[in-house]
Amino acid sequence: MMSLPLIDHIWRVRGDVPIDPLLSPEEVFARLDPLLRSPGTTVSAAGETLTYSKHNPAAQDKLATFTRGQLRIERVGAGAVLRFDLFSHALLLCFLAPLLFLGFAQMAVAINAWEGAGADASEKADKKDEKPKPVKVLNPVDQFLGAPAPEDPNKKKKDEKKDEGRHSPDEGYFMAGVFALIYLVGRWLEPWLVRRRFRAALANPPAAV
């Protein structure tokens, strides 16, 4: 199976957090339990590995961004670390959204080109049959009084045809930029937040029942 680490990096977050080597796996996972105990979360622990998955997590869920993941305890010399491998549907959607809106923008450009080609062909055909309208000329008295010259009806009609049927791609480019910014901020912020939450949970023993 071909490995695609750069593509995989789009929606996966990996890292590790130091833990007390004297803690057993049960104690470590018990300290993490408040983060995982939320509606729609399924947790499975076996030995030094814990996996979880979330279905439709609530907004107040501290791990709502990462809908599934694996936590594994590893002994490193005299110490120990908790390695995490998390998957985020939110990051994936934020990464794909700019591509979608760029597609809409390019579609608008293509439609403009198609309509422009049709308008040019229609204008050439009209020129063969249509006679230009005469331009009104001011009489000498009006010219002396400074009255504005009348508009050229042929020029006005040409401008109207030029603007008719145009679709702006600007909205698509704008939305693509917004989602690209959201993805870049989230890709940096979310891993930092999850590390901080894991550290805080591991530093506090579970409350006695």
The pLDDT tens digits of the residues spanning 177-197 come to 999 999 999 999 999 999 999
Q: What is the pTM of this model?
A: 0.70
pLDDT of residue 119: 62
**Domain contains 153:** yes
pLDDT band, very low/low/confident/very high, at 200 (cuts 50, 70, 90): very high
Split into its structural domains, the chain has a count of 2
Q: Are residues 54 and 120 in the same domain?
A: no
* DSSP-derived pairing of the beta strands 12-19 and 41-46: unpaired
Q: What is the 3-state secondary structure (H, E, C) of 149-199?
A: CCCCHHHHHHHHHHHCCCCCCHHHHHHHHHHHHHHHHHHHHHHHHHHHHHH
86 in Cβ contact with 165 (< 8 Å): no
**Domain contains 113:** yes
148: left (phi over 0), alpha (psi -120 to 50) or beta: beta
Q: pLDDT tens-digit profile of 67-113?
A: 999 999 998 888 999 999 999 999 999 999 999 999 998 998 888 88
The CATH number given to whatever domain includes residue 48 is 3.30.310.80
* Rounded (10°) CA dihedral 50, 56, 58, 59: 100
**Domain contains 9:** yes
Domain of 26 in residue numbering reads as: 5-92+184-203
Q: Are residues 73 and 146 in the same domain?
A: no
Q: Are residues 71 and 87 in the same domain?
A: yes
Q: Are residues 15 and 47 in the same domain?
A: yes
The HSE-up count of residue 196 (CA atoms within 13 Å, CB side) is: 6
Q: Are residues 99 and 55 in the same domain?
A: no
Q: Are residues 170 and 114 in the same domain?
A: yes
Q: Are residues 27 and 79 in the same domain?
A: yes
**Whole-angstrom Cα Rg for the chain:** 32
pLDDT band, very low/low/confident/very high, at 145 (cuts 50, 70, 90): low
Q: Are residues 121 and 19 in the same domain?
A: no
Q: Are residues 44 and 17 in the same domain?
A: yes
Cα 188 to Cα 168: distance, rounded to the nearest angstrom: 33
**Domain contains 208:** no
**Domain contains 36:** yes
Q: Are residues 64 and 84 in the same domain?
A: yes
Q: Are residues 87 and 13 in the same domain?
A: yes
Cα 24 to Cα 91: distance, rounded to the nearest angstrom: 33
* In the predicted structure, residue 138 carries a pLDDT above the cut 60: no
* DSSP-derived pairing of the beta strands 49-54 and 12-19: unpaired
Q: Are residues 68 and 85 in the same domain?
A: yes
